[in-house]
Every structure is written in structure tokens, then in C-alpha cells.
Amino acid sequence: MNLSAPLIIINDQRFLQHDTGGGDHPEIPARLQAIRQALKSSECFSSLSFLSPTIACRKSLLLAHDENWLFRFEESVLAGQTYIDHSDNQVCYDSFDIACLAAGAGISGIDLIEEGGQKNIFCVVRPPGHHAEQSIPFGFCFFNNCVIAARHWQRKYNKKRILIFDFDAHHGNGIQSAFEEEADTFYISIHEHPSFSYPGTGYGDEHGMGEGKGTIMNLPLSPGGNDTDVMNLLENDIAQKLEEWQPEVIIVAAGFDAHIEDDMSGLQYSTELYYTLGKVIKSWANRYTDGKLLSILEGGYELRVLGESVEAYVRGILEE
């Protein structure tokens, strides 16, 4: 393992073991294979180093989830259930362990940043996490990988002013639920308008509650929303908010299902937009967090373009 590589990809063959039952389920192991393949043949492959995560311990999971949910999830898979609560949430015998491993990726990444002198970490994991609530799975997600990472950063390294930026096509309801009443965390999400898209949350007028008032920024785009709309948000609304908020750490919920070829949303992003997103987000890291950046894979389901979209994002991050 080359720890002097400019970007560490945290990934593991075991992520392929989370079996969602075949059929028409879009969240499949081939997603990670497509990404790995695209990174392997990328011109920036020599700048990457691949590393396995450590499994998240119970204590870390409990920073974001109820103990009851941990028991229920584990018991459901051991009892041979094929899904939990809703047929979207397909599981297999190994799913609990693999979800713990996916949750551990962010934690491993943060430890590498804080104790190993790394700056760029991208966790290429499944199952995804941003729809998972404290005690309920939603939309293919069981543990909220981004929230668990945020909590780790807060508790172990005493970081304040946590930012999660989410460019998945779908609103990260689980992240908003976790953050919306807190003053020290900020959630910015660009997603397809909830009237037209799963999970039906993330309206633009939700800004947080109580102490968390003003710490949620939902930026819904109408179906057909494209690169120009995103660039406009990045350069204006978001840039201004970041200047006010001055994040101490940045976590990116990196979903690639807003691509025009991906039918999981009506958004129409190009592959090149993901390159720009990588570049812009990296510039935020340079400005606010001494270049430190943790990205965690969320959605992206069209195998023909998922690999190239992730590769474009990685290229963007690496471009200085």
C-alpha cells in the first residue's frame, strides 16, 4: 500500500457480498466492480492507493443509530429475512456485517486524515447510507455512513462545524434528521425536487429547527435540472453559505444517480459535471479545511456511466 498517494480509495472485496436478491434491484455488487474497472483504466490510477477499512464497532454505530435497530437488523439477516421493512431494503445473510464494514470506511478514512497525515479519502462502499434513519432502513440504506463519520470526527477529534455536502440525486433524509436540531453540523443537499422524487423529503423551505435553525440547506432542482443549474448553485448560494459557515471538516455524500443516463432520477447531469464537482469541492477543502476531504459513495445505478462518473469526480479532486 502506497500511503504517499494523493488519494486513498477505501474499498473492499467484501462489499460485493451484500446480495440484494437479483431481479430488478438496482443496488447491486456490479456497481463497485464498474467503479473499480473505471479507476483501473484511468490516467490517474497511479495517484490512487487502495485500502481496506476496519469494521465499525458497536459504539461507533450507536453514535448514529438506536441499539434496537442494531439488534433488529442483525436478527433479521440471521433469521434469513430477504428484506427489512420494505422490499427496497433487500438483505442477505451477510448484510449486517457488510453494512458495519461500509460504516467503518468513513471512520478509517478520518483516522488516516487525523493520525496518518492523509488529505484525500474516497470511501467506495455499499450498501449506501444517506436515507437510513436512526432506527429505520430506507431506500437501500441501513446504516448512515456519513452521519457515523461525522459523529466520529466530532467525538474522537473534537471537531466542530461539520459540513456534509450531498450531490446524490436524492435527498439524504437520514442526514437531515440527524442534523436538523444541531448548531454544530451543516447539511447542504442538491437533489431532485421531492414532489417528483424519492424519498419525498428535502423541500427548499426546511432550514433546520431549534438550535439547528439555519443549518440545513436544501436545494431541490426540477426534473431536467442540469449542469448549468448545479454550477449556479455552487457558485452562488453554496459559496456564500460556506463563507459564512466556515466548515472545519467536509464530508461529501457522493451519489452519481443524477447522471442523464441514470433513470433513478429525472436530473440530467453530464459525466463532466462530476469532474467539475470534484474540482470545486477540493477547492472548498483547500480554502476551509487545509485540503482535508472525505467522500463517501452513495447512489449511482446506471452501470454504463457510473464508472466514468466516479472517475471524473476523482480526476476533479486530484487536479490541483
Q: Which residues are catalytic?
A: 131
Tell me, residue by residue from 73 to 102, as one string, x for binding to another protein by CB under 8 A and - for no binding.
-------------xxx--------------
Q: Does 216 bind another protein (CB under 8 A)?
A: no
Among 20, 76, 144, 197, binds another protein (CB under 8 A): 197
For another protein, the closer of residues 53 and 225 by Cβ is: 225
- Residues in binding contact with another protein, number by CB under 8 A: 27
Sign of CA dihedral 141, 146, 150, 152: positive
Q: Does 307 bind another protein (CB under 8 A)?
A: no
Cα separation values, 244 from 30, 164, 186, 214, 239, Å: 41, 15, 11, 11, 9
Distance of CA 73 to the CA centre of its chain: 21
**Which contiguous run of DSSP H or E holds residue 309?**
helix 303-318
Q: Does 198 bind another protein (CB under 8 A)?
A: yes
The CB-of-203 to another protein minimum distance in angstroms stands at 7
Cβ neighbors of 244 (< 8 A, separation 6 or more) are none
Q: Which of residues 21-50 bind another protein (CB under 8 A)?
A: 24-26
d(CA 1, CA 116): 13
Say whether the peptide bond before residue 194 is cis (omega within 30 degrees of 0): no
Strands (E), 206-256: 216-221, 249-254
The CB-of-206 to another protein minimum distance in angstroms stands at 9
Q: Which of residues 133-172 bind another protein (CB under 8 A)?
A: 133, 138-140, 170
What residues line the site for another protein (CB under 8 A)? 24-26, 86-88, 131, 133, 138-140, 170, 173, 194-201, 203, 222-224, 263-264
